[in-house]
Amino acid sequence: MEYSGAEIVIQLLERQGIKQVAGIPGGTNLPLYDALRESPIRHILARHEQGAGFIAQGMARSTGLPAVCFATSGPGVTNLMTAMADAHLDSVPVVAITGQTPLSLMGTDAFQEVDTFGLSLSVTKHNFLVRSVEELVEVIPEAFRIALSGRPGPVWVDIPKDIQTATLDIEAFPSPGERIPAAFPDAALVDVAAEMIGKAQRPVFYAGGGVVNSGAGEQVKALCEKAGIPVVTTLMGLGAIAADSPLSLGMLGMHGSRSTNLILDQADLLIAAGVRFDDRATGRLAAFCPHARIIHMDIDGAEIDKLRPSDCSITGDAGEILSLLIPKVEPRARRTWEEDVIAMKAKHPTPQSELDDARPAALIRRVGQMASGDAFVTTDVGQHQMWVAQYYPHQRAGKLLTSGGLGTMGFGLPAAIGASLANPGTPVLCFSGDGSIMMNIQELATLAEQNLNVKIIVLNNGALGLVRQQQELFYGARYCASQYDRNPDLVMIAKGFGIAGSRFSLSTCTDEALQAFLQADGPGLLDITTPQEANVYPMVPPGAANTSMIEGDSHA
């Protein structure tokens, strides 16, 4: 049977199990949209290509399955670039499919032409420029295989318009692209790791996004309960172990608690799983865990020894490695280390129990206590993101969707839309700031159109809060371009998009008001007036050691 290139793409997406695609049509990808008309795949019309990319991310991050976004050439491609760079740094399996000018016009500066292949090289796991209709049959399944296999990541497929309209006779379509299992971990190295754990007096488990991606939270809990090992997580690893677990030390690094960073400073063994030793987590790397030997396990061998040399490195899926490791580790209480950890926590307590209702962190904690346990939480980037990391009761892996590696403002709202689309019936909370929400506020139209159960909570302090905080602390309070002289009325804007909105100050936002907001049908926006002087503490100065924390007003 004869198919056009565009029809081949849609057929292959259907076979891949894709149910929804976010995107925006334009001249060079109209053949794809024409083929999409007859497909059961549902199209989500974003209002900006970056929004489409983050909607796809919300789908992929919340399910662990690859998601797809469409864009046209030129500005469609460049608008999508940020979302793909974000997916690349956070290991998210997104497949971007874009239109391109016809092959005969490529390189001539044709209308809406950019070098998509060249531009996307550094922000993707892999990319393709399709040069014949025959290639499509192989490229589309291959894109999904690459996105899913090993360390997940984004793949870009750029298809010239004349390839989309060319035809090909196909008797049978290929099988869908599937994840290739990771290489089996080296059993001898697992034995070495078990021996190192057995000899350690002050071990700490360091869990990152790779643990969440592999679904290895239960293995982390089993190993650490058996061997008496406390657990720290990166921002991307939050939820890998429940926040209320006695083993949990919370998040480490720039905005981790003082006790957590000091406990790490005393460790003699660091068991690192699915982490990159990112600078926001480690602080000044030379001073990070100075007395500790390192066991580093990661599915991506390129990450091992990249920043911190390890004493035992194991390449493979974190879940598989831990499953092999658990029976080899002897049960051990480690009473002295446990007592030291308890004493450190008592000396430098996390001030959650002391918060009053007039502080943003307390509001986030209250929302977390009221929200459904299966709710997804998305954030934008800034002070609110760090308060969510510190104070939201993270109980399950994969429920926090946040931009970690790239730190992209404007991520939260479209990612929340994607999470809601992929998980119908599950509530989604989006925490944002008045700076971040403006980055992709046009997606309120998409949210209203889809009528999703997404609740947006904006901490509105009239400033770029984390920028202002750094200017206050490290630039002599010389504020420049971090405060807004005039802010829009977000409640009126939300209502203009057809979304219910209301405004409270921190002190007047009662539990009854929060419950009514969270339980209302459909989307909603809550604008919370927040004082500018409320800073995120503790904070490690950029480039400093994690032990050099600024406490400040930790009751923010």
> Where does the pLDDT of residue 139 fall: very low under 50, low under 70, confident under 90, or very high at 90 and above?
very high
Tell me what percent of the residues of the chain surpass a pLDDT of 70: 98
Which residues are 95's β-sheet partners? 68, 155
Q: What is the pLDDT of residue 553?
A: 61
Average pLDDT over residues 98-117: 95
Average pLDDT over residues 209-224: 96
- Phi and psi at 242, nearest 5°, equal -60, 140
**Identical fold between 187-347 and 351-529:** yes
Which residues are 168's β-sheet partners? 3
Residues whose CB is less than 8 angstroms from the CB of residue 69 and which lie 6 or more positions away in sequence, other chains included: 21, 22, 23, 49, 52, 53, 55, 56, 80, 83, 94, 95, 96, 97
Using the predicted structure, report yes or no on whether residue 318 has a pLDDT greater than 60. Answer: yes
- Nearest residue to 410 (alpha-carbon basis) of 378, 431, 380, 383: 380
Q: Tens of pLDDT along 420-478?
A: 999 999 999 999 999 999 999 999 999 999 999 999 999 999 999 999 999 999 999 99
Using the predicted structure, report yes or no on whether residue 555 has a pLDDT greater than 60. Answer: no
Q: What is the pLDDT of residue 219?
A: 97
Fold designation for 187-347:
Rossmann fold (3.40.50)
> Where does the pLDDT of residue 13 fall: very low under 50, low under 70, confident under 90, or very high at 90 and above?
very high
Q: What is the pLDDT of residue 373?
A: 86
Q: What is the pLDDT of residue 357?
A: 62
Q: What is the pLDDT of residue 349?
A: 80
Using the predicted structure, report yes or no on whether residue 80 has a pLDDT greater than 50. Answer: yes
Using the predicted structure, report yes or no on whether residue 498 has a pLDDT greater than 80. Answer: yes
Q: Tens of pLDDT along 87-106?
A: 999 999 999 999 999 999 99
Average pLDDT over residues 218-243: 96
> Where does the pLDDT of residue 351 fall: very low under 50, low under 70, confident under 90, or very high at 90 and above?
low
Distance separating alpha carbons of residues 248 and 273, to the nearest angstrom: 15
Q: Rounded to a whole number, what is the distance in angstroms from the first to the last CA of the chain?
A: 65
Q: What is the pLDDT of residue 355?
A: 58
Residue pair 421/44 in contact by the 8 Å Cβ criterion: yes
Looking at mean pLDDT, say which of 69-78, 332-341, 543-552 comes out highest. Answer: 69-78
Q: What is the pLDDT of residue 551?
A: 86
Amino acid at 220: V
What are the helix (H) ranges across 352-504?
360-370, 383-391, 412-422, 444-450, 465-474, 490-496
Length of the chain: 556
Using the predicted structure, report yes or no on whether residue 8 has a pLDDT greater than 80. Answer: yes
Residue ranges of the domains in the chain? 2-169, 187-347, 351-529
Q: Tens of pLDDT along 368-421?
A: 999 988 999 999 999 999 999 999 999 999 999 999 999 999 999 999 999 999
What are the helix (H) ranges across 402-453?
412-422, 444-450
Q: What is the pLDDT of residue 356?
A: 63
Q: Give domain 351-529's CATH architecture.
A: 3-Layer(aba) Sandwich (3.40)
Sheet containing 524-529: give its strands across: 400-401, 376-379, 428-433, 454-460, 524-529, 500-505
Q: What is the pLDDT of residue 353?
A: 45
Q: What is the pLDDT of residue 348?
A: 87
Lowest model confidence (mean pLDDT) among 337-341, 345-349, 540-544? 345-349
Per CATH, domain 2-169 is 3.40.50.720: no
Average pLDDT over residues 171-193: 96
